[in-house]
Amino acid sequence: MGLLSTLTADTTYLASGVYAFLLGVGLGLVMQVFTLTVQNTVPPHDLGAATATVIFARQVGGSFGLSLFGALFNNRLGDELAAHLSPDVLRRLPTGTSITPDAIKRLPPALRHGVVESYGHALTTVFLVAALVLAAGFLIALFLKQVPLRVPSGPRQAQPTPPLKTKADAQ
């Protein structure tokens, strides 16, 4: 997330792709550890409910996060556009869903630069705040009680059967 907060209008597609890949790998690895941790702390008969709760909390958290960071982005974008463009130019910009990459490409170069810089600065703020939220989560995780992993709760392995004794063994 910290790397994504360094994105600018001049960042290459390759660099932004590598940053996003690293974020995806990191989050993917953490998600499994969190699920395993929760499953390890509940009794075996509650595994289904605990796993469902983790998935539900992840979905709700994603929805809240998307809403909050989307609001932050929109707020910052408005401020950045106002800082980079004159009020007259702002009134002539497309609004809402009509701001597409094609619409931005059709803008005059000087105007396009201001719009792209505004988007870049707004995204940088969002990723920087998200990195701070992740850092706070990491610090909180350091204070969680450490619980050792328990033994597998699945079907027990069959114990080896001792060899049968024959009459020859008895003599």
Nearest CA-CA partner of 94 in 110, 113, 115, 74: 115
pLDDT score for 30: 85
Strand, helix or coil for residue 24: helix
Q: Where are the alpha helices (DSSP H) in the chain?
A: 13-41, 47-84, 87-92, 101-105, 109-142, 167-170
CA distance linking residue 164 with residue 168, whole number of Å:
11
pLDDT score for 49: 94
pLDDT in tens, the chain (171 residues): 788 888 887 888 899 899 999 999 988 888 888 888 888 888 888 999 999 999 999 999 999 999 999 999 999 988 988 888 888 877 777 666 667 788 888 888 878 888 888 888 999 999 999 999 989 988 998 998 887 877 765 555 555 666 777 776 666
pTM of the predicted model as reported, rounded to 2 decimal places: 0.72
Q: Is 118 exposed, middle or buried (0-12, 13-18, 19+ CB in 10 A)?
A: buried
Q: Is 114 exposed, middle or buried (0-12, 13-18, 19+ CB in 10 A)?
A: buried
